[in-house]
Amino acid sequence: MKTTTILLLAIALSAADSYSLKAQTMSTQSQQNPWTLVYEGAITKNENGKVNIHPVTYKLNGIDIAANVYIPADYDASKKYAAVVLAHPNGGVKEQTTGLYAQHLAEAGYITIVADASYQGASGGEPRHTDKPAYRVEDIHGMADFITRFAGVDATRLGILGICGGGGYTLKAVQSDKRFKAVATLSMFNSGVVRRNGFQNAGLATIQERLKAATDARAQKAAGGKVLYSGVASITDEEIANTTTDLYREGYEYYYRSHAHPNSTFLYTTVSLIDLMTWDATNQIELINQPLLMIAGSKADTKYMTEEAFAKATGTKTKEIFVIEGATHIQTYWKPEYVDQAMNKLKDFYGKNLK
């Protein structure tokens, strides 16, 4: 099956159906970990003198948000710490790559928070898997609201790291939210442009067709009909092997095999396309005046998105692209040698800008 066919398929599945399908491929690691963390080296218990993890919940516009807060070793609530907000990839959850980076940043002395997006993961909101840019951006503001009031956090030293789709939403959120003093993205993915034009512009010929499908899906929902979904509910090994782009082939392997989690899915409501297809992470990006670091793998087939955004970010005096040699997009999520390079750069960046 071709990648474009898989990605553009509208699937009439209930949220319960999609959760059931993902539960069948949940990794053994998440079953064994008390917090269902699926990344290598994840915390298995909270111990004195080590980084600890604390699940928290809070309300955001009436929706229950599920988040994990990581605190440094020997945390002392009477002291003041810099903090970093992390925004997860499209379809991802807090227990995957953002959890890995949140834990590593806590090891470096930062208090970190990663929350499941509203309507996704363990957070509330109906219909499930709604993926509207305005909601994702508001989720970032909400994480800032919560963590700046967390005991020990110095609200004047707040950074952010957005990964993949979370990187695109980060670029939008920080345009107006000046609580963030240092902005970093990893393997940034401009969700609106890709949903509109297709990955690497492969869907230009079907834009109007997909907008019509999204409009029809909204009309059906308004009339009391079933919620329609687009994306991928499940995938075979053969389909993965036949996927030609690194991003999606390795992404399917990551999300459906090696780092699968029951709350993570490639599905999104078809009606979400009404908002996604008219959105661009780089619109008004010149409003970013904070220090900006954008990290991408040299072999990432998404690297062009980082380069395009970086060129448009003319409002900041301090910006840098850091290229991880040999890394693809998905490999920056988990492969130790690439994660280590990204972390060394992030520690240097936040160290300079969150003094």
40-90 per-position pLDDT tens digit: 999 999 999 999 999 999 999 999 999 999 999 999 999 999 999 999 999
Query: CB within 8 A of 267, min separation 6: which ones?
Result: 11, 13, 18, 91, 129, 229, 230, 231, 232, 233
Write phi, then psi, for 115 (nearest 5 degrees): -120, 145
Q: For the chain, where are the E strands, in sequence order? A: 10-11, 52-60, 63-71, 81-87, 111-115, 153-163, 180-186, 229-232, 266-269, 292-297, 319-324
Task: Map out the domains of the chain as residue ranges.
Answer: 3-353
Q: Count other Cβ atoms within 10 Å, centred on residue 72.
A: 20
Which residue in 347, 263, 334, 292 sits closest to 67, CA to CA? Answer: 263
DSSP 194: H
What SS3 class is residue 136?
Answer: helix
Dist. CA 283–CA 293, nearest whole Å: 18
Dist. CA 245–CA 257, nearest whole Å: 17
Angle made by CA atoms 153, 157, 162, in degrees to the nearest 5:
100
pLDDT in tens, the chain (355 residues): 333 333 333 333 333 343 334 444 445 566 789 999 999 999 999 999 999 999 999 999 999 999 999 999 999 999 999 999 999 999 999 999 999 999 999 999 999 999 999 999 999 999 999 999 999 999 999 999 999 999 999 999 999 999 999 999 999 999 999 999 999 999 999 999 999 999 999 999 999 999 999 999 999 999 999 999 999 989 999 999 999 999 999 999 999 999 999 999 989 999 999 999 999 999 999 999 999 999 999 999 999 999 999 999 999 999 999 999 999 999 999 999 999 999 999 999 999 999 9
133-182 per-position pLDDT tens digit: 999 999 999 999 999 999 999 999 999 999 999 999 999 999 999 999 99
Pairing of β 10-11 and β 229-232: antiparallel
- Which pLDDT belongs to residue 233? 87
Give the CATH class of 3-353: alpha beta
